[in-house]
Every structure is written in structure tokens, then in C-alpha cells.
Amino acid sequence: MSKNLFIALEGIDGSGKSSQAKLLAEKLEQAGHKIHLTLEPTTGHIGSILLDILKKKIKSDHRTIAALFAADRLEHLLNEEAGIVKKLEDGYTVITDRYYFSSYAYNGAHSDMDWVISLNKMSAQVRSPDLNIFIDVPPEVCMQRINANRATTELFEKTDTLTKVRNKYFEAFDKLKNEENIFIVDGHRSISAIAGDIWDKVSGLL
């Protein structure tokens, strides 16, 4: 049996992360893997506060938001029953829709990125992904997709913010290129073409 991996999907809002996470999970299941599909912010106690902030129901300083994301991530990893560490120990391949590169890019767009990276050091020590997949889509295309699907937008969902966040992703990838396994895929294509590239990359790690 090939090994169980920890895979993080990254990208700006509307880039197709959740669509690709589901397709990758299906393919891995067909190949005989047990899959745990998860996402950030979580639906746990800290994640719920973040969801309210993203939906603009409550307001908070961007530094506080960065710290909450780091805390939510530790809970996501370390929860005794359903945490990523436990799931990996139990033999699941874990696919997460967002992990710490999202913090580096989104929180790093509003606060010092090195500070955000240091806030997430413990998560990186506990478990870094075997692969970070970045689905690269132009921010204008993402905003069109978001506006076509929803009547309201979330905190970061503006073209200029998403442009800044995309740039921050690339800044973070450059900073951490020696420590992290990063795969950038052109996401401005058909869902199946993107899924094909992702599968080629992931199957090479199994």
C-alpha cells in the first residue's frame, strides 16, 4: 500500500480549491486510499469566530485575525479526535482546503509576513504538508466566479485585495522555497485539465 500523504490546496477565493479537493479525494479513493477532506477556517470553536469575521458579522483588527487563524490551525492539527495529526496516524490521506500559506498570503497582506510566519512556526513544526498545491487564477476571473455564485462577498473578496493576496502567495513561496514542496498549477483552464495536472503530481508522490 502506498503512503498516506498530507496535501494542502491553496489559492485565492474562487480559484477552484474546493472543486479540486473533491476530485483529488475521489481519485485517491479509487486508488484505495482512506481520505480525510478538511478545510480552514475550521467549523470548531475558534473557526466559528473566524467565519463570523469573514462574513463581516463581527469586526476585528487584522493582527488579531492572524492570531486567531494560527490558533484555529493548531486546533485543526492537534484535536485529539479529528485532528490532522490523528487522522494521519490512523492512515488517512489528509487533503486540506487551505493551510498556513493562506495565512502567509492573506494575513501577510495586512500584517508583516515574517511575523505571520513566526506565529505559525508551531504548526510547521508539528506537520508541514507533503505537498502545497497552488491553483493560480487571475483575481478578476475569481471575482467573476464569486459574483456569479453569491449575493454577498466576504471580507477579503475584492479584486484589489485578491491581487495583493496573490502577490503575497508568490512572496511566501519564494521565502520558503527551500523548506516547502510547492506545486503551482495554472487554474485558468477547464476543471478536468487542472485535475489532470494535480493527479500527475500527487500520483508521483505515492
CA angle 185, 68, 153 (to 5 degrees): 60
Which residues on adjacent β-strands are paired with residue 131?
7
Is residue 11 a contact point for ligand ADP (CB under 6 A)? yes
If you ran DSSP here, which 8-state letter would residue 109 be given? G
Residue among 19, 79, 153, 181 that touches ligand ADP (CB under 6 A): 19
Residue among 5, 7, 10, 17 that touches ligand ADP (CB under 6 A): 17
How far is the C-alpha of 88 from the C-alpha of 13, rounded, in Å?
A: 27
Please state the closest distance from residue 80 (CB atom) to ligand ADP, in A. Answer: 28
Please state the closest distance from residue 2 (CB atom) to ligand ADP, in A. Answer: 26
Is residue 181 a contact point for ligand ADP (CB under 6 A)? no
Is residue 157 a contact point for ligand ADP (CB under 6 A)? no
Q: How buried is residue 151: exposed, middle or buried, by Cβ count under 10 Å (0-12/13-18/19+)?
A: exposed
Is residue 30 a contact point for ligand ADP (CB under 6 A)? no
At residue 126, φ and ψ (nearest 5 deg) are -65, -50
Which grid cell sits at 43? 467549523
Which grid cell sits at 163? 491581487
Is residue 166 a contact point for ligand ADP (CB under 6 A)? no
Please state the closest distance from residue 122 (CB atom) to ligand ADP, in A. Answer: 26
Is residue 13 a contact point for ligand ADP (CB under 6 A)? yes
Site map 117..156 versus ligand ADP, x via CB under 6 A: ----------------------------x---x-------
Q: Which stretch binds ligand ADP (CB under 6 A): 7-15, 53-61, 99-107, 160-168?
A: 7-15
Residue carrying the nine cell digits 495565512: 103
How far is the C-alpha of 130 from the C-alpha of 145, rounded, in Å?
A: 29
